[in-house]
Structure 1
Amino acid sequence: MKIMNKTLAAILLAGTSTLTLADEVKVAVAANFTAAMKEIAAAFEKSSGHTTQVSFGSSGKLYTQIVNGAPFEVFLSADQARPQKLVEEGAASGEFTYAVGKLVLWSTDPELIGDGPEVLSGDKFEKLAIANPKTAPYGAAAVEVMKSLGLAERLQPKLVQGDNIAQTYQFVATKNAELGFVALAQTVKDGSGSSWTVPEDLYSPIRQDAVLLEKGEGNAAAAALIEYLKGPEAQAVIEKYGYGVE
C-alpha cells in the first residue's frame, strides 16, 4: 500500500509540475493576420501546453491600447513603425519581421477585375474599399498604389474606409463595395471572385514586425510564442497564407 501511495504521489506531483509550467500569453495581432494566427495559435498550444488569448484589430488602435496600459504581452503589428516606437520607448524588445504582407485588389465578381489595374480607371464600380491609412498599414499601401498609378484624385470620391483590413474585406465580401484593396492572405484560401495581385514596386514593403512587450517579460509562454513564430512550423503556415518570410 505504501508503494502504491508513493507512486500515486509521484504521479500527482508530476501533473502539478506540468501545470505550473503552462502559462497564458496575451497577444495583440494585426487584423490581416487573423486566419494565419488562429492556425498558429492552435498549433502552438498543442505543442507547448501554453494557452493564448488573442485580440485582433488595426495596428494603430492596438498600439494605442498598448501605450495606454492594455495587458498585452506580445504584439504582432502589420508594420515596423509601431514596434520600433515601442522599442525606442523602452516598452518592448526583440523586434523581428515575422511576415511580409502582400496587397491585392479583390472583388467577389469573377468578371470585374482582369489581369491588371485597368478596372480602376473605368466606370464599372461605385465603391472601392480600403483600410484606414492612418491606422492600418495595408490602407497606407493602398493609397501609395493609387498615387503610383496616378488615380488617387479620380478614385477619392469612390473610397469607403474600414477601421482595419478585416472590416475592409467584409465591405467587399458583403458587396457593400464592388472591389477593394485587401491583404492577399485574406483571399488566398478562398480563390473566389477576381483579383489583381499588386506589383510590390508600387508600394513600400509591408514588413510586419513582432515584439515582446514589457508586460510579457518573465512569461515563459510569451517567450515560447516568440520562438515558435520564428520556427519552421509557423513559417510554413505564414507562407501558406500568402505572406513572404525573411
Structure 2
Amino acid sequence: MKTVLSAVAIVVSLFSGGASPALATTNINVSAAANFCAPPNPGDPTPLGDLITAFQTANPSYTVTLVQCGATGTLASQITGGNSLGVDLFLAANSSTPASLASGYGVGSPFTYAVGTLAFWSKSVNVSAGYSSSTYSKVAVANPSTAPYGAAASQLLTGRYGLTAPLSSNSLVNIYSNIDLTFQAVNSGSETVGFVALSQICSAGTYPSSGYALVYPPTDTSVSPVIYNYDPINQAGLRIAHSRTSAQDTELNAFVSYLTDHTLSPQSQMITTLLNYCYGVP
C-alpha cells in the first residue's frame, strides 16, 4: 500500500477578482474542500475562484480570502484545533462534518451549496466498462477517513466490487490524502486509473476535459436491479464562530447568500458555476 502523506494547504488570497485593494474595507477567510478550490492544473479556473471573482466584482468593498484548501477532515481539524487561520466560512465536501461542528464551532445551521458526483478517470485507457479488480492492478482513491470523495469510493469499491476493507490495507488500492492529490496522481500518469470528483474533469459543463471517464452516480439506475453505489455527496458549508466586526458579519452573510442563490431565471452566478463544473444543484 502506498500512502501519500502530503496535503494541499494553500494559505494565500488566490482570487483578487475585480475588487481593488484600495477599496476593500472588509475581508472574510474561507477554507474549502479540494474539489471546490484546487485547480486541476496551475492557472486553471476553479469553482470557488469563479465565485469569489464574481462576488468581489459585484461588491468592490468586500474581499474573500482562501486560507486553506484540502481534505474536509483536515480542514475540520484546523478549526477544532484552535482555528489559527481565522476561518470564517468552512466549505466541506460532505454534510456530516459541518453538522458535527455546528453546535461547538458554528454560527447558525449548515447549508448545502453543491452536490458532487464520483467519476472513474484515466488519462490513457478507456474506462467505459467501469472498474474491475481483474483489469486494474491499482486504483487511486482519496483517503476515506478525511476525504468524502474517498469515502464514496470506498463504499463503491467494497460494496459493489467486493474489495476487502479497509482500503488502507488493500494491495489493489493506492490512497492519497485528498481528492486533489488523487487527481494529480492520475493526471501525471503515475496512476493509470482513479476515482476523482466529476467537477475536476469537467469544463463548461462537459466531461472529461481530458482522457476517459465513467460517471458513477450514488444510485445506478442504468442497470437492473438498481445498484446503490455510495451515499449522496451533499457538500455543505458552515459559518464558523470567530471574532468578527459587524461589517465582516454582513459580508459573510452576503457571501453565504451568494453561494445559496439557486435562482434559475435569470440564472444566478451560483447556478452558472455549478453547471459549468458538473455539480448538481441542491
Range class of TM-score, shorter chain: 0.7 to 0.9
SS, match of residue 138 in structure 1: helix
Within the candidate set 62, 65, 74, 2:75 is matched to: 62
d(CA) in 2 for partners of 1:148, 1:66: 32
User: How big is the shift at 1:135?
Assistant: 0.3
d(CA) in 1 for partners of 2:113, 2:149: 16
Cα RMSD, aligned residues only: 1.9
User: How big is the shift at 1:148?
Assistant: 2.4
SS, match of residue 132 in structure 2: helix
Which amino acid in 1 is paired with 2:52? A
Bigger shift: residues 169-178 or 151-160: 151-160
Residue-by-residue CA offset, 1:131-157 (whole Å, 9 max, x unaligned):
000000000000011122233139831
Aligned to 1:42: 53
Task: Indicate yes or no: 2:137 matched with 1:122.
Answer: no
d(CA) in 2 for partners of 1:96, 1:194: 33
User: How big is the shift at 1:121?
Assistant: 3.3
TM-score w.r.t. length of structure 1: 0.85
Within the candidate set 215, 223, 235, 1:208 is matched to: 235
Aligned to 2:159: 148
Aligned to 1:171: 185
SS, match of residue 89 in structure 1: helix
Residue-by-residue CA offset, 1:107-146 (whole Å, 9 max, x unaligned):
001x4312x32x42333x3321100000000000000111
Which amino acid in 1 is paired with 2:147? A
Note if contact 1:172-1:180 (Cα within 8 Å) is conserved in structure 2: yes
Same amino acid, percent of matched pairs? 31
Task: Indicate yes or no: 2:248 matched with 1:237.
Answer: no
Note if contact 2:132-2:161 (Cα within 8 Å) is conserved in structure 1: no
Bigger shift: residues 89-98 or 235-244: 89-98
Aligned to 1:26: 29
Aligned to 1:199: 217
Residue-by-residue CA offset, 1:76-132 (whole Å, 9 max, x unaligned):
0001111111112253323110001100000001x4312x32x42333x33211000
d(CA) in 2 for partners of 1:180, 1:92: 36
d(CA) in 2 for partners of 1:167, 1:107: 14
Bigger radius of gyration, 1 or 2? Answer: 1
Which amino acid in 1 is paired with 2:58? S
Which amino acid in 2 is paired with 1:239? L
Note if contact 1:126-1:177 (Cα within 8 Å) is conserved in structure 2: no
User: How big is the shift at 1:221?
Assistant: 2.1
User: How big is the shift at 1:158?
Assistant: 2.2
Greater RCO, 1 or 2 (C-alpha within 8 Å, sep 6+): 1
Aligned to 1:187: 201
Bigger shift: residues 234-243 or 130-139: 234-243
Structure 2: where are the runs of 5+ without partners? 1-21, 38-45, 220-228, 262-267
- Between structures 1 and 2, the one with greater helix share: 1
Aligned to 1:98: 113
Note if contact 1:121-1:151 (Cα within 8 Å) is conserved in structure 2: no
Residue-by-residue CA offset, 1:5-63 (whole Å, 9 max, x unaligned):
xxxxxxxxxxxxx947x311100100011110011111111111211111211100000
Note if contact 2:144-2:150 (Cα within 8 Å) is conserved in structure 1: yes
